[in-house]
């Protein structure tokens, strides 16, 4: 059985939508965060769920969506989490095995940073797509990618302290090291057939440049 891959579309900056096509076509379910639903409609992007506090979604569009029996409109006014985290947690409860995320760029810097930290908050298989990179949290089972072109660049960032960190297949390999928040893992380069990352504890974010 194919993996249940969900797609969450945020209401950030949208630029070139061409790379979105494969994700929208291959997703089991598409969730629009609040005002992103309006832009999905304007750009002909199908979605199955719209979720959030609805402060960015005009009443006219809310009514239009409510009248569509094929779309779930889920009002969540909670202020302890942003709409992206609400959507991610809903997707996990709904059975998503992996979640792709689009539309987090632009706007205030703290909002973009919060979108990245959402990966650490949910601790689930998820990947953010930006115009220049993908961002994901390395699972405790480790990371191995043998499809990256040589000279691809990437960065690793610790959220809190990461111990037992080993990285191979790149210009600057590591073996059983400790990494703390900072610039230590900035801008490494793939030099071998496979890039592998393993760590014993802590939260580790991988930024893979396109």
99-103, 105-109, 185-189, 194-198: which range is least confident on average? 105-109
**Of 132, 153, 180, which residue is a domain's last?**
132
What is the number of other CB atoms lying within 10 angstroms of the CB of residue 185? 23
Q: Return the closest-CA partner of residue 19 out of 138, 153, 132, 155.
A: 132
Provide the domain limits for residue 124. 5-132
Do 99 and 46 lie in one domain? The reply is: yes
Predicted local distance difference test score (pLDDT) of residue 2: 57
CATH code of the domain covering residue 78 = 3.40.50.10240
* Tens digit of each residue's pLDDT (9 = 90 or more) over 7-63: 999 999 887 788 888 999 999 999 999 999 999 999 999 999 999 989 888 898 999
pTM of the model: 0.93
- What does the alpha-carbon distance between residue 48 and residue 46 come to, in Å, rounded to a whole number? 7
Q: HEC states along the chain?
A: CCCCEEEEECCCCCCCCHHHHHHHHHCCEEEEECCHHHHHHHCCCCCCEEEECCCCCCHHHHHHHHCCCCCEEEECCCCCCCHHHHHHHHHHHCCCCEEEEECCCCCCHHHHHHHHHHHHHHCCCEEEECCCEEEEECCCCCEEECCCCCCCEEEEEEEEEEEEEEEECECCCEEEEEECCCCCCCCEEECCCCEEEECCEEEEEEEEEC
1 pLDDT above the threshold of 50: no
- Under the banding of pLDDT at 50, 70 and 90, the label for residue 129 is very high
* Tens digit of each residue's pLDDT (9 = 90 or more) over 67-100: 998 999 999 988 889 999 999 999 999 999 999 9
Does residue 138 lie in a domain region? no
What is the number of other CB atoms lying within 10 angstroms of the CB of residue 123? 12
Do 56 and 75 lie in one domain? The reply is: yes
Does residue 98 lie in a domain region? yes
């Amino acid at each position: 059985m194919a993996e249940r891959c969900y797609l969450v579309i945020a209401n950030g900056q949208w630029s070139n939508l061409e790379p979105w096509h494969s994700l929208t076509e291959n997703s089991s379910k598409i969730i629009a965060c609040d005002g992103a639903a309006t832009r999905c409609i304007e750009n002909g992007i199908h979605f199955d769920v719209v979720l959030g506090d609805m402060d960015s979604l005009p009443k006219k569009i809310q009514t239009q969506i409510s009248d569509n029996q094929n779309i779930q409109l889920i009002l969540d006014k909670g202020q302890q989490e942003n709409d992206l985290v609400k959507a991610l947690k809903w997707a996990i409860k709904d059975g998503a095995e992996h979640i792709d995320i689009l539309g987090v760029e632009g706007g205030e810097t703290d909002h973009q940073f919060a979108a990245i930290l959402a990966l650490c908050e949910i601790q689930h298989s998820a990947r953010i797509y930006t115009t220049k990179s993908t961002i994901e949290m390395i699972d405790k089972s480790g990371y191995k990618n043998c499809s990256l072109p040589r000279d691809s660049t990437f960065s690793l960032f610790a959220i809190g302290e990461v111990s037992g960190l080993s990285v191979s297949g790149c210009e600057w390999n590591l073996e059983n090291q400790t990494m703390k928040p900072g610039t230590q893992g900035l801008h490494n380069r793939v030099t071998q057939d496979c890039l592998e990352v393993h760590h014993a504890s802590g939260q580790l974010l991988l930024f893979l440049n396109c």
